[in-house]
Amino acid sequence: MCGIVAYVGPKDAASILLEGLQRLEYRGYDSAGLAVVNAKSLKTRKVKGRVADLAAAVPAKFKGTSGIGHTRWATHGAPSDVNAHPHLDQEQRVAVVHNGIIENADELRRRLEGEGVKFESETDSEVLSQLVGRMVKETDSLREAVSRALKSVVGTYGIAVIDAQRPGEIVVARNGSPIVLGLGEKEMFAASDVAALIRYTRQVVHLEDGELAVIKADGFNTFTSDARETAKEPFTVDWDAGHYDNGGYEHYLLKEISEQPDTVARTLRGRIDDRFHIAHLGGLNMDARETRSFRRVKIIGCGSAYYSGQMGAQLIEELARIPADAEPASEFRYRSPVVEPDTLYVAISQSGETYDTLAAVQELKRKGGRVLGIVNTVGSAIARETDGGIYLHAGPEVSVASTKAFTSTAVAFALLALHLGRVRDLSPADGRRICEGLRRLPEQIKEILTLEDRIRDLAKKYADSPGMMFVGRVRGYPVAREGAQKLKEISYVHAEAYPASELKHGPLALISPELPTVAIVPDDELLDKNLTTLGEIRARHGRILMVGHRTSEAADDCIVVPKNEVELDPILLTIPLQLFAYHAAVALERDVDRPRNLAKSVTVE
Ligand code: F6R
């Protein structure tokens, strides 16, 4: 993995591929490469480093009207020029770019080497180019050659393949790793992410797992793995190239944090019913009787999506009084979960392509579970696999660390909880209270954003700590977990989140002047208990940064945010922690938008 782009049409392929690769840079990568077909031969350039390094390595005379490009995030073999994609077969006729993991690569490599094939790289992906290279000699169809090669492969892939003998044709295939086709005027594109195509077209077609497509300048055809042609309806992406610009901000992350008054308003738009104080969620595809029939809610997602799910579980229990809990999708899928007909499953994903979450959804569906998706990317794999759901409408999230998708997911859960609550026992008065609270969120987020200068100073003050503890109780605990996640992933400062109530059962031993604590202290029924915890930390000479609705002498520093309804306060309390992590990362001169070792969307196991 990480990013694929392909082009066939009348224009200069190399410059379109380089532009597309630039648009994929946000996903994180360590090397880049491209190949074009020219006069029945392949031209290839690959470099360890940035897309700008690749552009500098591509000579002016690198003409071709079809080609493929890739940004690689190393899985098999270290980042290097040779391990970068595209990979060729040994006769240099076929070139392949691949996202995903070939699980039986070692076995295939041994078999091919036994047949005299010489490998260039250490990657699992090269077995694909070598296999297609062998098959392409046995058939006069590139699609057939790719299809035959894929029959011996176990694993996940999104691939694009070109053949020097067929200049006007590209074959792409998907199994677990996204591929989207972009339909232009007498030109066609394919990519792993619409970001790479959006400057050229907004008409797209998503491939399903097991599908292949042949793309030519004048159109495309899609097939199942057993060569049956499939019918696909293109749809129009409602994001445009402007959504992918940094809007004059120094980093995408700051842009995305700052966008939250708008993105939260978009998640809410048209979904609050003032007459019955309920949420309109047409995408759930469930009538009131069905909505009432669930006895449990189980939420799955990975990383920050999972933490937003914890916030969601809390909201559902409080407002709808249905037992709810969240679990990492990556764990859920491996433990043979008991799937019950009266449980509503909810899968969360910004990208809609996270492999662990997708695999968990597929497992649930196999076992007859009813699964909703809370997803940002329209038409993505998880959106397609689920029985219904809620789109976030937060616009594309470019920075690797999730911010606006997190808050919009929490808001979507508040809407879902309101909806589930109002078809059960939540009173109209409480329904109205929540509707009014939701409406106040965008303005209150604006108010929090005005605290940025103060938060920057605090971030500078604490950034050189060797580590930080984050604590919160009940509603505050998911806030603490997400705050620790943001800090560790973009600033590389060790950060650990604990329920405040658990501190005295172990981690209190860590508290010292060297390990400051960020304490989430909302004004709710647990305020006194939280203040007692601050006292315990202080008695061990721990420094405290308190985030809440008031100041306290028990803390060294306080960030005070506007108060909403107790159930909705966690959403607002998250935002200063995003700014804190951002400014800590800037103070430490980190690569804020592309933190080391991380990719934006994890489409491998
Ligand atoms: C953290 C972060 C990740 C993602 C996770 C799930 O800032 O971005 O933890 O939340 O990889 O990604 P999606 O939501 O695309 O499924």
What are 318-369's pLDDT values in tens digits? 999 999 999 999 999 898 889 999 999 999 999 999 999 999 999 999 999 9
Asked if residues 586 and 399 have their Cβ atoms less than 8 Å apart, the reply is: no
What is the reported pLDDT for 241?
A: 81
Answer whether 354 contacts ligand 1 (Cβ < 6 A): yes
DSSP 8-state assignment for residue 238:
S
Angle value at C-alpha 3, between 227 and 159, nearest 5 degrees? 20
Alpha-carbon distance of 188 to 158, in angstroms, equals: 17
What is the reported pLDDT for 465?
A: 95
pTM: 0.89
pLDDT single digits (tens) 90-109: 999 999 999 999 999 999 99
pLDDT exceeds cutoff 70 at 130: yes
Answer whether 24 contacts ligand 1 (Cβ < 6 A): no
CB within 8 Å of 506: residues ≥ 6 apart? none
Residue whose Cα lies nearest atom 7 of ligand 1: it is: 401
Residue whose Cα lies nearest atom 6 of ligand 1: it is: 302
Asked if residues 360 and 347 have their Cβ atoms less than 8 Å apart, the reply is: yes
What is the reported pLDDT for 602?
A: 77
pLDDT exceeds cutoff 80 at 599: no
pLDDT single digits (tens) 270-303: 999 999 999 999 999 998 899 999 999 999 999 9
Answer whether 408 contacts ligand 1 (Cβ < 6 A): no
Answer whether 403 contacts ligand 1 (Cβ < 6 A): no
Active site residue 404: no
Alpha-carbon distance of 272 to 279, in angstroms, equals: 5
Alpha-carbon distance of 508 to 521, in angstroms, equals: 18
Residues above pLDDT 90, as percent of the chain: 87
352 CA → ligand 1 middle, Å: 10
Residues above pLDDT 70, as percent of the chain: 100
391 CA → ligand 1 middle, Å: 16
30 CA → ligand 1 middle, Å: 20
Residue whose Cα lies nearest atom 9 of ligand 1: it is: 303
Answer whether 380 contacts ligand 1 (Cβ < 6 A): no
Average pLDDT score over residue span 182-200: 94
Which residue among 43, 255, 404, 600 is the active-site one? 600
What is the reported pLDDT for 496?
A: 95
What is the reported pLDDT for 551?
A: 96
Which residue among 2, 302, 435, 558 is the active-site one? 2
pLDDT band at 4 (very low <50, low <70, confident <90, very high): very high
Q: Which two tokens stand for residue 512?
A: 């010292």
Answer whether 83 contacts ligand 1 (Cβ < 6 A): no
396 CA → ligand 1 middle, Å: 13
381 CA → ligand 1 middle, Å: 15
- Pocket perturbation via mutation, ligand 1, pick of 193, 330, 350 by most ligand atoms within 8 A of CB: 350
What is the reported pLDDT for 452?
A: 98
Angle value at C-alpha 172, between 170 and 173, nearest 5 degrees? 160
pLDDT band at 596 (very low <50, low <70, confident <90, very high): confident
What is the reported pLDDT for 218?
A: 95
pLDDT exceeds cutoff 60 at 1: no
CB within 8 Å of 303: residues ≥ 6 apart? 402, 485
Atom of ligand 1 nearest to the CA of 354: 16
pLDDT single digits (tens) 429-463: 999 999 999 999 999 999 999 999 999 999 999 99
Average pLDDT score over residue span 393-421: 96
Segments of 116-256 assigned E as strands:
157-163, 170-175, 180-183, 188-191, 203-206, 212-216, 219-223, 229-230, 235-236
Strand order in the sheet with 494-499: 494-499, 467-472, 517-521, 544-548, 557-560
pLDDT band at 160 (very low <50, low <70, confident <90, very high): very high
401 CA → ligand 1 middle, Å: 7
Atom of ligand 1 nearest to the CA of 304: 10
Mean pLDDT lowest among 59-63, 405-409, 473-477: 59-63
- Pocket perturbation via mutation, ligand 1, pick of 252, 354, 488 by most ligand atoms within 8 A of CB: 354
pLDDT exceeds cutoff 90 at 600: no
Average pLDDT score over residue span 537-554: 96
Asked if residues 511 and 538 have their Cβ atoms less than 8 Å apart, the reply is: no
Active site residue 600: yes
What's the per-residue H, E or C state across 321-342?
CCCEEEEEHHHHCCCCCCCCCC
pLDDT single digits (tens) 551-584: 999 999 999 999 999 999 999 999 999 999 999 9
